Amino acid sequence: MNEGRQQGAAEASAGQKALDDRMSRIKHKIIVLSGKGGVGKSTVAANLAYALSLRDKRVGLLDVDVHGPSIPKMMGIEGKPVSGTQEAIAPVEMGSNLRVMSMGFFLQDRDDALIWRGPLKANLIRQFLSDVEWGSLDYLVIDSPPGTGDEPLSVGQLIPDADGAVVVTTPQEIALADVRKSISFCRKLNLPVLGVVENMSGFECPHCHERVDVFKSGGGEQMATEMNVPFLGRIPLDPRVVETGDRGSLIVAESNGGAAAEGFLHLADVIISTGEGGGRTIEAPPEGEVKVMRIAIPVAEGKLAQHFGHCQEFALIDVDRERSQIVKQTSLVPPAHQPGVLPKWLAEQGADIVICGGMGQRAQGLFRSQGIEVVVGAPVMAPEGIATAHLNGTLEAGENICDH
């Protein structure tokens, strides 16, 4: 009996080493979650992975929806044979930058139903992570089934150093209520929430261009604010997203994918800038222990955007002035740039200082009227470096590049 236990322990240790070795070759691991079915989570995961590959990133897409794997169908690789050796399983490749693995590749009939309990699903997910030859990747995007059950729980436990979760919702309250549970689930697992994506957010008629909020609009952003997590952006409702998925393509791969494709590309850019700019949230000490100042920095491609009105997102960095250290950092996508909008919005986010490359005099006045200090002429560098330099008094500010 002791020999059996020793052998079991040795096998478990070898399996953990294989998992660690595979994951160590992947820079960023992102889990796509939703507490609600039917919100387009797999569509977001697939288009995000493809968009990242279009940005010259080496990407893996893992579908851990054991009971309803849809990734192979929507990507046009259903029925592709999976090869491998005794040591490793080869993922299905789409071009030079994208590798895909799904339970769907192993089903003889797409209508087959798998009746598996939790331990079997957990073992399968472990195998997909440790036995698939992912190679060296910039990103592994993991598409989980709806809810907070075995699959996302297994992924969260097997990859404790995951960058975080992208939470997908639609704008209506019936979806938001369940999605809030996903955010609470992430917090219980100590899994950072990279942000919320509001899918199916408004429909623009292709003929008259009138916008109709079929499922409302703005609910995801409001919920993100209430839950104190970043808002990553909106993907508009577009029938072509469904059409492309049904025929085995992706809207982001279309030459004229419209606003939906642009939304996915923007989401990829925000994810890249968050990962390369150190966007994981740093938890602050309990309230009352430090005096916090919030610095807002416009960011594009992970570094300072020289003009505050033309940025992909704002890095909001909470700093302890007395200790000269960063205590928390988050990222938020700003509303569309219009005169007077950003000063009010940043004031609502609690910003004390905005640091940018350039800002016109009128805009500076609007910020100051909101009680926000303005620093211009900052160099193009990562937002944490700018905040630290400002704290230490070593920020070398140059000319205001937008003085009008």
Tell me the DSSP string of 141-191. EEEPPSSSSHHHHHHHHH-TT--EEEEEE-SSHHHHHHHHHHHHHHHHTT-
CA dist 258 and 261 (Å) reads 6
Listed range (77-86, 97-106, 150-159, 196-205) with the worst mean pLDDT: 196-205
Range of lowest pLDDT (133-137, 262-266, 394-398): 394-398
Q: Is the separation of the CB atoms in 182 and 167 below 8 Å?
A: yes
Residue 211 has what pLDDT?
Answer: 58
Number of residues that this document lists for the chain: 404
Average pLDDT, the chain: 80
pLDDT category of residue 282 using cuts at 50, 70 and 90 = very low
**Which of 312, 309, 310 minimizes the C-alpha distance to 276?**
312
> For position 284, what pLDDT does the model report?
37
Q: Are 261 and 252 in contact (CB under 8 A)?
A: yes
> Who's near 199: CB < 8 A, 6+ residues apart?
39, 40, 43, 44, 168, 169, 170, 220, 234, 235
Structure tokens at 269: 């850019």
So what's the pLDDT on residue 240? 83
365 band by pLDDT with thresholds 50, 70 and 90? confident
Q: For residues 387-393, give the mean pLDDT.
A: 81
Alpha-carbon span 46 to 41, nearest angstrom: 9
Q: Looking at residue 380, what is its pLDDT?
A: 87
Residues paired with residue 168 on neighbouring β-strands, in sequence order: 197
Torsion sign across C-alpha atoms 39, 42, 47, 49: positive
Other beta carbons within 10 Å of 84: 12
All residues at 6 or more sequence positions from 283 whose CB lies less than 8 Å from its CB, including other chains? 328
Enter the tokens of residue 387: 């905040």
pLDDT tier, 332 (very low <50, low <70, confident <90, very high otherwise):
confident
pLDDT of residue 277: 46
Whether 4 and 123 have beta carbons less than 8 Å apart is answered as no
In the predicted structure, residue 385 carries a pLDDT above the cut 60: yes
E strand map for 248-305:
292-300, 303-304
Q: How far is residue 386 CA from its own chain's centroid? A: 23
Q: What confidence category does residue 129 fall into, taking pLDDT thresholds of 50, 70 and 90?
A: very high
Q: Is the pLDDT of residue 208 over 90?
A: no
Question: Which of 40-49, 63-72, 394-403 is predicted least confidently?
Answer: 394-403
Return the sign of the alpha-carbon dihedral for residues 242, 247, 251, 257.
negative
Angle between helices 150-158 and 118-130 (to 10 degrees): 40
Tell which residue, 277, 260, 241, 284, has the closest CA to residue 383: 277
Beta strands in 255-361 (DSSP E): 292-300, 303-304, 313-320, 325-332, 353-355
Evaluate whether 288 touches 304 at the Cβ level (below 8 Å). no
Where do we find the tokens 């292709």?
206
* Residue 285: strand pairing partners: none
Q: What is the mean pLDDT of residues 18-25?
A: 89
pLDDT tens digits along 7-19: 545 555 666 888 8
Tokens of 67: 């009971």
Q: Which domains does the chain have, with CATH numbers?
A: 18-276 (3.40.50.300), 292-392 (3.30.420.130)
Split at pLDDT 50, 70, 90, the class of 3 is: low
Q: Return the pLDDT at 217.
A: 60
How sure is the predictor about 384, in pLDDT bands with cuts at 50, 70 and 90?
confident
- Mean pLDDT is highest, among 129-138, 207-216, 227-236, 307-316, for 129-138
The CA distance from 331 to 309, in Å, is 16
Give pLDDT, residue 254.
84
Could you identify the residue written with the tokens 């039917």? 38
Return the closest-CA partner of residue 241 out of 46, 61, 104: 46
| Bridge partner residues of 358 (DSSP) | 307
Give CA–CA dist 5/13, Å, rounded: 12
Model confidence over 349-360: pLDDT tens digits? Answer: 888 999 988 888
49: confidence class by pLDDT, cuts 50, 70, 90:
very high
Q: What is the pLDDT of residue 55?
A: 93
For residue 48, the model assigns a pLDDT of 96
Q: What is the bridge-based pairing of β-strands 26-33 and 98-102?
A: unpaired
Give residues with Cβ within 8 angstroms of 99, minimum separation 6. 59, 60, 61, 91, 92, 93, 134, 135, 137
Which of 296, 347, 294 is CA-nearest to residue 321? 294
Query: What average pLDDT does this structure show over 114-127?
Result: 71
Q: What is the pLDDT of residues 69-116, one digit of tens each?
A: 889 888 898 888 888 777 789 999 998 899 999 887 877 655 555 555
Mean pLDDT of all residues in 42-71: 90
Write down the pLDDT at residue 281: 41
What's the rounded Cα separation, in Å, for the pair 356 and 298? 6
